[in-house]
Structure 1
Amino acid sequence: MDFQRPSAHVQAGPSVDMTQSTEEDTLVDGPLIAADALHSAIRREFQTLPTHLHAALLSLLHIVFVVLSICVGVLCVLKFGQEERCMHFLGNEPGSSIIVYAKACLWLLVLAFSCCLQHHHNKVRGRGYLQFYRQTQQLKHLPFTIHSSGNVLMLIFLTVRLSQTVRTYMLLSILGLELLLTFPCLLYYSVKVMQFNSERAAPDVNQEELSHSYRVTGQPIETGFRGASTLEEVVEKQADLIEYLKHHNSLLSKRLLNLTAQH
Structure 2
Amino acid sequence: MDSKGPSLYAQAGPSLDLSRSLEEDSMVDGPLISADALHSAIRREFQTVPTPCHAGLLSLLHVVYVVLSVCLAVLCVLKFGQEEVCMNILGNVRGDSVILFGKVCLWVLVLLFTGCAQHHHNRARSRGYLRFYREMQGLKHLPLNVHSTGNVLLLVVLAAQLSLTVHIYMLLTILAVELLVALPCLLYYIVKVMQFNRERAAPDVSQEEHSHNFSISSLPTETGFREGSSLEEVVEKQADLIEYLKQHNTLLSKRLLNLTAQH
TM value normalised by structure 2: 0.82
1:97 matched residue in structure 2: 97
1:128 matched residue in structure 2: 128
- 1:92 Cα shift? 1.0
Question: Are 2:168 and 1:168 equivalent residues in the alignment?
Answer: yes
Instruction: Give 5+ residue unaligned stretches, structure 2.
Output: none
Aligned AA (1:199)? E
Question: Are 2:118 and 1:118 equivalent residues in the alignment?
Answer: yes
Question: Are 2:48 and 1:39 equivalent residues in the alignment?
Answer: no
Q: How does 1:1-263 map to 2 (within 5 A)?
A: 9=7, 13-14=11-12, 17=15, 21=19, 25=23, 35=33, 39=38, 43-45=42-44, 46-213=46-213, 215=215, 219-221=217-219, 225-253=225-253
- 1:232 Cα shift? 3.9
CA contact (8 A) 2:143 2:182 kept: yes
Structure 2: how far apart are the matches of 1:255 and 1:126? 18
Structure 1: how far apart are the matches of 2:18 and 2:208? 42
Q: Which entry has the higher C-alpha Rg, 1 or 2?
A: 1
Please list every run of at least 4 consecutive aligned residues from structure 1 whose deviation after the TM superposition is greater than 3 angstroms: 8-12, 22-29, 38-42, 218-235, 250-263
Instruction: Give 5+ residue unaligned stretches, structure 1.
Output: none
Structure 2: how far apart are the matches of 1:26 and 1:212? 30
Instruction: Give the aligned length.
Output: 255
Cα deviation per residue 1:87-139 (whole Å; 9 max; x = unaligned)? 11111110011011111111111011001100110111111111111101000
Give the secondary structure class of the aligned counterpart of 2:141: helix
- 1:233 Cα shift? 3.3
Identity, % of aligned positions? 60
Structure 2: how far apart are the matches of 1:85 and 1:244? 60
Structure 2: how far apart are the matches of 1:259 and 1:27? 20
Structure 2: how far apart are the matches of 1:138 and 1:257? 40
Structure 2: how far apart are the matches of 1:11 and 1:167? 98
CA contact (8 A) 1:139 1:189 kept: yes
Bigger shift: 197-206 or 132-141? Answer: 197-206
Give the secondary structure class of the aligned counterpart of 1:139: coil
Give the secondary structure class of the aligned counterpart of 1:49: coil
- 1:13 Cα shift? 2.1
